[in-house]
Structures are given as C-alpha cells and as structure tokens.
Amino acid sequence: MENLVLLGVCLLLGVGLRMAGIIDERGTAGLNAVIIHMSLPALALLHVHDLPIGPELVLPAAMAWIVFGVGWLFFTFMGRRMGWDRATVACLALTGGLGNTSFVGLPMIEAFFGREYLGVGMLCDTAGSFLVLAVPGILLAAGASGQGVRGRELVRRVLLFPPFVAIVLGFALQPVPYPEWVSELLGRMGATLSPLALLSVGLTLRFGAIRGKGRELLVGLGYKMVLAPILIFTLYVLVLGRTDMVTMVTVFEAATGPMIAGGIVAMTYGVRPRLVAAMLGVGIPLAFLNLPLWQWMLKAV
C-alpha cells in the first residue's frame, strides 16, 4: 500500500512545486535524464540478472509485445479516423500501448495474488515491457520526434539507449553472481524511478489541459485498461485454454495503467509531453480502480 501512496504523493508534490514556482517545467528535463541514465538501467541490471531463460518466459513476456503491437495498429487506425498527427499516435502507443507492470502492477499482484507471483510480474515487466520500450519504443519515439533521425543514427540511438545496454549487460552477467552490496546498490538506485517519474509528470501536468484531450484520453486509456486485457484474456484463456495462475496474473498485468517509463521516453523526445502527463495523471489513479475489478472477474474464471 505504501508504494501506491508514494505514487500519489509524488504526483501531487510535482504539481505543487510547479504551481508554487519552485520548479518550472524545464525541471522535467533534468529529472528525465536521471531516470533514463540511472534509475531504469539500475532496475534492468538488477532484475534481468536473475531472470530465468526458458519456456516459462514466453507467455508473460509476449503479453507486452502483443499489447504494444496491436495498440500501435489500433492507434494508427484511430489516428487516421480522427485526424491525429504522428506524434499523437506515438504518444498513445508509448503510454496506452505499454503498461505500468512494475510500480503499479507489482504492488497490486502482491496485494491480490500474493508475493509468490511477483516473479510473473517481473517477467511481464523485464522481458516484456522493458524490452519493448528499449527497442520498438525508442524507435517510435525517435521517429515521431521530428528530429529527422534515420537509418544508422536511429539504430545507434537504440543500441546506446541506457536501459537497453543495461538489459544486454544483465543477461551477459547472469553466470556471475552479484555481491550483496551490488544488489543493494542497484535496488536503491532503481527505487528512485517511481518518485522521480511521478514528480516529472506532476511538473508537466495541468489539470485544466485535460479538458481538451478527452478523445485522446478515452481512446488511449480505453485501449490500455479495457481492450488490452480483453485481448490477452481471449488469446491466452479462450484460444490457448490456459487457466493457471501464471496466466491469470499475466492478464491482470495487461490491465495496468499507462507505463511511466514509456511516458518519460516520450517526454524526453518531445512527443506530446502534455498529453503524456494527462495519460499518466488520469491513468494511474484509474488503475487503482480498474485492477481490483479485473481481479474479481478473473477469480470467477
């Protein structure tokens, strides 16, 4: 519960600091740089190092790739229907197409399913959401940023994206056990992601601006919290016939709110930062209502 309270406190603190004039919106650039270069790589190094490589990875890891891929197609289709530009489609794909499978998902898994299923959440997050963000996510953000990044430069940005480098290094170091102090250090560094990210969102969020983004929010959050878990439930339970707890937890993770890290990457590349802040500012509180509902429905399966 304290993790959920932390998200709300940091979001409101960011709003308060901006409204008081203590930190302006330019402060988000510094926060986002710390997150991209410290917090996310630390989490990747910590969790990928202990990630089992085997068949048990497939369904939880595939969930994020399926949700993102179908989401990008869905947002592209809706964008054409509604006349949205490329940046809006990319923004919705990076937030509504990627779930908050760690900082909202993991505490909720512990609360509703028990600590023994946190590993499933780690698979969804590290082998799924994290890798999606590091490869197609960064490609999409760079391509929509209007910076004219093409070809080799785009590949270079992906390969040098700090979280991606950390994921590769984490897998490479699996045969080498971390000393306890290294794990502790990485854990403390990675723990900064949640408060810093919500502070960044709060500094950008203007509640009055949400009013003009109703259609984008409805489409983005509607997909992330309703259509995405229905899609995974249909594929995994109805088509594949899987009703085990690992599958139920994976469907539950598909219903989490927008991914904070995806939003931070979008902000870093200047891809509709106000819409990013609106998606996170509305979507994260809604996730606290949406996930208990999905747990209740899954329990009946």
Taken in order of first residue, the domains within the chain and their CATH numbers are 2-299 (1.20.1530.20)
Residue 206: its pLDDT value, please? 66
pTM (two decimals): 0.80
Q: Which of helix, strand or coil describes residue 294?
A: helix
**Per-residue pLDDT at 148:** 54
Sequential pLDDT tens for the chain (301 residues)? 666 677 778 878 888 888 888 887 677 778 888 888 898 888 888 877 877 776 767 899 899 999 999 999 999 999 999 999 999 999 999 999 999 887 678 778 877 888 678 778 877 887 788 889 888 888 898 888 776 555 676 677 677 878 888 888 988 999 999 999 999 999 899 888 778 877 887 787 666 667 778 899 999 999 999 999 999 999 999 999 999 998 999 999 999 989 888 988 898 888 998 899 889 888 888 888 899 999 999 988 8
d(CA 103, CA 244): 24
